[in-house]
């Protein structure tokens, strides 16, 4: 049976957010993929997952990008809800991300970078808070030279969507057994109005396999940030049952 993290705290967070007069724009997100319909092509998109791709030549020179669009499910490109890849903590369904094998530029040696992500907007009330992106992950069918990362990005829509933060963790180096991992970012005064993305990236060419399996995705403020965000009274976020 999958262990669901943060459920009682998430309920309190929701009530606190709804009641807070100084509502921050970043909000918690938690997904274990159990409640999504694996047969529905729109299941991930309906849950807010988005897709975007960048294409580079074999030397790393930028060629073009495409997106943003709802992340697909069950196609040869970007992402799918998988079944049977989990352990005790991951349950029956997981998220798999991979390259866009619908893109014929694979066949000419260009590098296809796919991004599957959730997106938020940073508000003034978020300044001074620190947010953590936590997830379970294991190696899927990825083979070298394909690479993969989990990421936090911030982008400035008033400056041509310039990348202003890019926090990453390599996931192509993970073992084939499950582990729990996290990355985080502190919100400073330069970031209100910018986009905040959490998600997973793959880089592949020549149709090489690139799948990584993820589950138990959580996006939460660090405990010390709760009072700052108007969620006072919550001393900690429950991470994982013993």
User: CA dist 80 to 67, 73, 118, 137, 220, Å?
Assistant: 17, 4, 15, 15, 24
Has residue 241 been placed in a domain? Answer: no
Range of the domain at 36: 7-225
Has residue 135 been placed in a domain? Answer: yes
| pLDDT single digits (tens) 115-168 | 999 999 999 999 999 999 999 999 999 999 999 999 999 999 999 999 999 999
When the pLDDT of each residue in the chain is averaged and rounded to a whole number, the result is: 88
Has residue 194 been placed in a domain? Answer: yes
Kindly state the percentage of the chain with pLDDT values over 70.
82
Shortest CA distance to 41 belongs to which of 65, 76, 17? 76
Give the Cα separation of 109 and 105 in Å (integer).
Answer: 7
First to last CA, the chain: 14
| pLDDT single digits (tens) 186-229 | 999 999 999 999 999 999 999 999 999 999 999 999 877 666 66
Sequence-ordered strand ranges (E) for the chain: 29-31, 50-56, 62-70, 77-83, 93-100, 111-121, 130-139, 147-156, 162-170, 179-186, 195-204, 212-221
**pLDDT at 12 > cutoff 50:** no
**pLDDT at 234 > cutoff 80:** no
**pLDDT at 17 > cutoff 80:** no
Q: Specify which residues 37 forms β-bridges with.
A: none
Has residue 119 been placed in a domain? Answer: yes
Has residue 155 been placed in a domain? Answer: yes
Name the DSSP letter for residue 37.
Answer: -
| pLDDT single digits (tens) 26-36 | 999 999 999 99
CATH number at residue 62: 2.60.120.260
Name every residue whose Cβ is closer than 8 Å to that of residue 210 and which is 6 or more positions away in sequence: 98, 99, 141, 142, 143, 146, 148, 202, 203, 204
pTM: 0.86
Has residue 199 been placed in a domain? Answer: yes
Has residue 36 been placed in a domain? Answer: yes
Per-residue confidence at 6, pLDDT binned at 50, 70, 90?
very low
Q: In the chain, how many domains are there?
A: 1
Phi, psi for residue 163 in degrees, rounded to 5: -80, 120
Tokens of 164: 């202003």
Name the DSSP letter for residue 143.
Answer: -
């Amino acid at each position: 049976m999958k262990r669901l993290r943060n459920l009682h705290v998430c309920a309190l967070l929701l009530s606190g957010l709804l009641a807070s007069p100084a509502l921050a724009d970043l909000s918690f997100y938690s997904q274990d993929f159990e409640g999504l319909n694996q047969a529905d092509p729109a299941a991930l998109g309906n849950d807010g997952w988005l897709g975007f791709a960048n294409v580079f030549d074999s030397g790393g020179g930028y060629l073009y990008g495409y997106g943003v669009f709802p992340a697909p499910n069950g196609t040869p490109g970007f992402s799918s809800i998988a079944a049977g890849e989990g352990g005790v903590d991951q349950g029956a369904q997981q998220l798999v991300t991979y390259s866009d094998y619908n893109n014929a530029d694979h066949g000419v040696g260009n590098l296809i970078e796919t991004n599957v992500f959730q997106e938020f907007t940073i508000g003034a009330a978020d300044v001074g808070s620190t947010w953590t992106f936590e997830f379970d992950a294991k190696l899927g069918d990825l083979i070298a030279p394909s690479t993969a990362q989990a990421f936090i990005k911030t982008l400035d829509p008033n400056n041509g969507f310039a990348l202003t933060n890019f926090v990453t963790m390599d996931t192509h180096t993970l073992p084939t057994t499950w582990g729990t991992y996290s990355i985080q970012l502190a919100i400073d005064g330069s970031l209100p109005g910018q986009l905040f993305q959490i998600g997973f990236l793959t880089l592949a060419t020549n149709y090489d396999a690139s799948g990584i399996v993820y589950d138990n995705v959580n996006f939460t403020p660090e405990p010390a940030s709760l009072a700052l965000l108007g969620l006072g009274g919550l001393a900690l976020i429950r991470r994982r049952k013993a």
